[in-house]
Structure 1
Amino acid sequence: MSKQVQVHGALFLVALIYGSNYSIAKEVMPTYVGPFGLIVIRVVSAAIFFGVFSRMVTKEKIVGRADNLRAIACGVTGVAINQLCFFAGLNLTAPINAALLMVIVQVVVLIFSAILLKERVGKRKVSGILIACTGALLLISNSQSEATTGNIWGDLLIILNASSFGMYLVLVKPLMQKYKAVTIVSRIFTVGAVLVVPFGFSQVLAPNYSAFPVSIWLAILFMVFAVTIIAYLLNTWALRFANPSLVGAYIYLQPVMAILIAVGVGKDVFTLEKALYALLIFAGVYLVSRTKQHAVTKEKIKERHV
C-alpha cells in the first residue's frame, strides 16, 4: 500500500470518527451520563494516556514562565471551555446543527489571528467571514422554531465552543514551533482535567454504571479511545505527509459524515433550510481558507475535541 493511500485512509478515518461522535455522544447523554460527567471521563482519560505517552516517548518539558503560562491558556481554551461548551451544546441541539457550526472554526481562527497576531485580512476573507456568519446566524435563528430539531441555546454554546477552540489554535502556534506535539497535548489535557473535574465530578458519580447496556459502554469507550486518542495519533501521523489543501478537503468531509450518520441512525433530520445554510457556511469558509493564512489553521484545525 502506497504512502499516499495510507494518508488518505488515515484522514478519512479521522473524519469518520469525528463525524460519528456527534450521534454517538447523543446516545449516551443525558440519559446515562450527564454532558459534564462525560467530559470528565474523556479528558481525565486522555490526560493520563498522553501524560504516560509523553514521558515514555519524548521526555520533553515545557520551560520558561511565558511558555508555561501560554500552555495553561491553551488548556483553558482548547480543553476546558472548548469541551464544556461542546458537550453542553450538543446535549441541547441537534447533531447536524453542531457539525455545521463547527466548520466556522477556520473563520474564528482568522479573526483571532487578525486581532492577536495582527494578520492582514483582505476583502476576500472579509467576504468569507460575512457569508459564513450569515449562514450560522440563519441556522441559529431557525432553531427557535418548534418545527426544527435544533436548539438556539445549544447552537450558541457550539459557537462559543468554536470561538474558544479558534483562540486555542492561535495561542498554541508558538508552542508547536518549539516543542513536540505530544508534549503540548499532554500539558493542555492535564490543565483541562483539573478545570473540568469540579464541573462534572457529581455527574460522574451519579450513574448506576452496572446497569449500563453494552452499547453504552462501547459508545463511551469510542469517545475516549477513538475520538480523543486514536484520531489524534492518526491525524498527527497523516499531517507529516499531507499537504494543506488535502487536509482542508477532509475538514469539509467531517460535517458531511456527521450528517449522513445522524440521518442514517435517526438522530436528526436534514431539511432544505439546513442544506441552504450549510452552503452559505461552506462557501464562506472556502473563501477564508483559499488564500494563504496561518499555518495553524491548516495543520491544527482537525485536532478536536473533541
Structure 2
Amino acid sequence: MSKRTLAILAAIGATTIYGLNHTIAKGIMPHYMGAYALVELRVIGAAFLFWCMSFLGPKEKIEKKDFLRLFICALLGMGFNMLVFFKGLSLSTPINSAVLITTTPIIVVLLSAILIKEKVLPLKIVGIAIGFLGALGLILLSSETRQDAPNIPFGNFLILMNSILYGSYLITAKTLIEKYHPFTFMKWLFFLGIFICLPFGYEELATTDWSALNFDAVWRIGFVIIGTTFCTYLFNIFALTQLKASTVSAFVYVQPLIGILFALITGQDRLTTVKIVAACFVFVGVYLASKKPKRIVEH
C-alpha cells in the first residue's frame, strides 16, 4: 500500500473519529460526569501522551519571546474552546454539534479578513453570510425538548463560540506551528491547558462518582482522550506529509455526514426540518467560503 493511500486512510480515520465523537462524548455527559470534568481529563490524558511521544521528535526549547503567544494559543485552543464545546454538547444534541462545528472554515476566513487583513472575495462573503444564517437558524429556531439536552439554543450558541475560538487559535498558532515540531508544540499546549481548565473542572472532578463509571463510560472517556484528541492529531500530521493541505481540509465535509448518520443509527438524535434546512445552509456556506478562486491564465 502506497504512502499516499495510507495518508488518505489517515485523513478519513481522523474525520471519522471527529464525526463519531459528537455522539460518543454526548453519552458521557451529564449522566456520568460534567462537561468540564471531561475536558480536564482530556487535556491531562493528551498532555501525558504527547509528552511521551515528544521523545521521538527533536529536542527543542520554546524561546522566551514565544511563551506569550503559546499561552494565548493554549487559552484559545486547549482551554476555552474545549470548555465551551463540551458544555455546549452537554446542553444540545449530536446532530446540532456535528453541523455547527463545520462552520470553523467560515470563521477562519472571516477572522483572517479582520485580524490579518486577508482579502475576501465576494463569493466568500456570500458563503460566510449563508453559513451564519444556517448557524443562527439552529440557535434561534431549535424548539426541541429533551431530557439529555436541557438548553439546546444556548448549547448551540456555545458550540458556535467553539468554532470562533478555534478559528482564532488557528490564526494565532500559525507562526508557532511553522517554527516548532508538532510534538513540541502540542505537549506544551496541553500542559498549559491542564492549568487553564482546572478552575472549571476541579469541582466537577471532585464530585464525580468514580465508582459509578462502568465499561460504557470508561471506553467513551478513553475514546475522547486517545481517539478524538491524540490519534486524530497524529493522523492529520501524517496525512499532511503526503497530501496537500487543501486535500486534507476537504475532509471537513465528511465529518458532519458521519456525525449525523451515527447519531441516527444509534438512536441518539433525530432529524427535524430546522436541522435539515440549517445544515444545507451551513454546508453551502462552508463550500463557498472555502472555494479557491480560479487562476486567470494570461496568454
Matches within 5 A, 1:1-306: 1-65=1-65, 67-144=66-143, 146=145, 151-291=152-292
Percent identical among aligned pairs is 37
Task: Report deviation, 1:149.
Answer: 9.4
SS at structure 2 position matched to 1:90? helix
Q: Secondary structure at the match of 1:222?
A: helix
Please state whether the residue corresponding to 2:120 is helix, strand or coil: coil
Shift of 1:273: 2.8
Partner SS, residue 109 of structure 2:
helix
Cα distance, 1:197–1:26 mapped onto 2, change above 3 Å: same
C-alpha distance after superposition, 1:236-283 (max 9, x if no partner): 111111123422331110111000111111111022331221111111
Map of 1:297 onto structure 2: none
Helix, strand or coil for the counterpart of 2:179?
coil
Letter aligned with residue 13 of structure 2: L
For 1:104, what is the secondary structure of its paired residue? helix
202-211 vs 164-173, greater mean Cα deviation: 202-211
**1:202 shift after superposition:** 1.8
Residue 271 of structure 2 aligns with an amino acid whose one-letter code is F
Whole-angstrom distance in 1 between the partners of 2:263 and 2:94 = 7
- Residue 200 and residue 150 in structure 1: after superposition, are their counterparts in 2 closer, same or farther (change >3 A)? closer
Residues 59/230 of structure 1: CA separation in 2 closer, same or farther (3 Å cut): same
Q: Aligned to 1:28, what secondary structure does the other structure show?
A: coil
Q: Displacement, 1:208?
A: 2.5
Q: 1:55 to 1:207 in 2, by over 3 A?
A: same
Task: State the shift of 1:115 in Å.
Answer: 1.5
Q: Tell me if structure 2 keeps the 8 A contact 1:54–1:60.
A: no
What is the deviation of 1:56?
4.7
What is the deviation of 1:125? Answer: 1.0
* Contact 2:91 2:150 (8 Å CA) reproduced: no
Paired residue total: 291
2: CA distance between counterparts of 1:236 and 1:112? 24
- After TM superposition, give the deviation of residue 9 of structure 1 in Å: 1.2
Distance 1:150 1:11, change over 3 A: farther
For each residue in 1:222-248, what CA deviation from the matched residue of structure 2 results, as whole angstroms up to 9, or x when unmatched?
Answer: 111111111111111111111234223
Q: Which runs of 5+ in 2 are unaligned?
A: 294-299
TM-score, normalised by the number of residues in structure 1: 0.91
Kindly report the root-mean-square deviation, in angstroms, between the aligned alpha carbons of the 2 structures. 1.7
Q: Are the structure 2 counterparts of residues 79 and 191 from structure 1 closer, same or farther at C-alpha, using a change threshold of 3 Å? A: same
1:149, 1:268 within 8 Å by CA — same for their partners in 2?
A: no
Q: Describe the shift of the 1:24–1:146 C-alpha distance in structure 2 as closer, same or farther (beyond 3 A).
A: closer
Q: Secondary structure at the match of 2:241?
A: coil
Distance in 2 separating the partners of 1:85 and 1:6? 33
CA distance in 2, matches of 1:196, 1:210: 23
Q: Residues 30-76 of structure 1, C-alpha deviation per residue, up to 9 Å, x if partnerless?
A: 111111000110101111221232245222111132x2111110000
Q: Is the 8 A contact 1:94 1:150 kept in 2?
A: no
Looking at structure 1, the residues matched to 227 and 99 of structure 2 have their Cα atoms a distance apart, in angstroms, of: 21
Q: Deviations over 1:195-232 (max 9, x none)?
A: 10111112112223233221211111111111111111
Aligned-pair CA distance for 1:290:
0.7
Task: Answer yes or no: is the 8 Å Cα contact 2:18–2:255 preserved in 1.
Answer: yes
Aligned equivalents of 1:178 and 1:248: distance in 2? 21
**Structure 1 CA distance for aligned equivalents of residues 184 and 145 of structure 2:** 46
